[in-house]
Amino acid sequence: MKAAHIAQACLFAAIAAFASVGAQAADTAPAEQYHYGQKLDVKRVLAIHEENASPFDCGIVNARMDYLDSHGQPHSLAYRKFATNCNEGG
């Protein structure tokens, strides 16, 4: 294997490990409640979680966004949104 391939494999492994650590840190951090007009510093979204609702529940649900800011610090933001697994009339 060439040195460039080894370096590339190491880089991908480091990126994957960094993303995993950021996601784990965001899962353990308490979620900040979003308020209208709030300025957010979002560099990368790690995950979006939605409260479990029935497929026929097409209303507003609680959600959480885990993300990294421009300094690489993990954050978790709680907010309300329309359900995405809505199965209207299905």
Asked if 39 and 28 count as a contact pair (C-beta separation under 8 A), the reply is no
In whole angstroms, what is the distance from residue 22 CA to residue 55 CA? 31
What pLDDT, in 10s, does the model give residues 35-90?
A: 999 999 999 999 999 987 666 677 889 999 999 999 999 999 999 998 887 776 55
- Tell me which residue of 37, 38, 26 sits closest to 64, measured CA to CA: 26
Q: Where are the domains of the chain?
A: 3-82
- The DSSP bridge partners found for residue 50 are 63
- The DSSP bridge partners found for residue 6 are none
What pLDDT, in 10s, does the model give residues 16-39?
A: 555 555 555 545 568 999 999 999
CATH number of the 3-82 domain: 2.30.140.50
